[in-house]
Amino acid sequence: MKKIMIINGVNLNMLGIREKGVYGTLDYDGLCGYIKEKCSDMDVELSFFQSNFEGEVVECIHSCYFKGYDGIVINPGAHTHYSYAIYDAIKAVSPIPAVEVHISDIHSREEFRKVSVTAGACVAQIAGKGYDGYVEAVATLLGRF
């Protein structure tokens, strides 16, 4: 059984409250439950982490290496567009493949959202598929083993 950490960054704790037309109506716990349910037939152990603090996200990424995780699914939130610290953390644990996920289609939104500095450290980016993007990311990682 493979171990995958699902990391959610800044403002994702506000799901269900913020811009429901963009991010949907599930709250954060609902999102985690949705992912667990949709991945229940996959041979995978999922762990979840969320923080609004860049350094805590970096620490979680580092811990994936020391705790023997096989893959990382990460939605950095707004950190996507400027966090070279998260990019470097993903590269630092690069024996562990990471997939970047975005609930919304960042490529069809405001200009600043179209740029991801973290995607270059990941094996794939999935955007605009709503909550199912996380499920696709898990499947993508499992297909790499």
Q: pLDDT digits over 94-122, tens only?
A: 999 999 999 988 887 777 776 899 999 99
Between 22 and 130, residue with greater pLDDT: 130
Q: Write a three-state SS string for the chain.
A: CEEEEEEECCCHHHCCCCCHHHHCCCCHHHHHHHHHHHCCCCCEEEEEEECCCHHHHHHHHHHHHHCCCCEEEEECHHHHHCCHHHHHHHHHCCCCCEEEEECCCHHHCCHHHHCCCCHHHCCEEEECCCCHHHHHHHHHHHHCC
Which residues are known to be catalytic?
Answer: 23, 102
**Quick one: average pLDDT of 75-104?**
96
Task: Classify residue 69 as left (phi > 0), alpha (psi -120 to 50) or beta.
Answer: beta
- Percent residues over pLDDT 90 in the chain: 81
Q: Which residues pair with 49 in a beta bridge?
A: 7
- Which is more confidently placed, 98 or 23? 98
Is residue 18's pLDDT more than 90?
A: no
More confident call, 9 vs 20: 9
Token pair in block for residue 58? 């970096």
The residue type of 62 is H
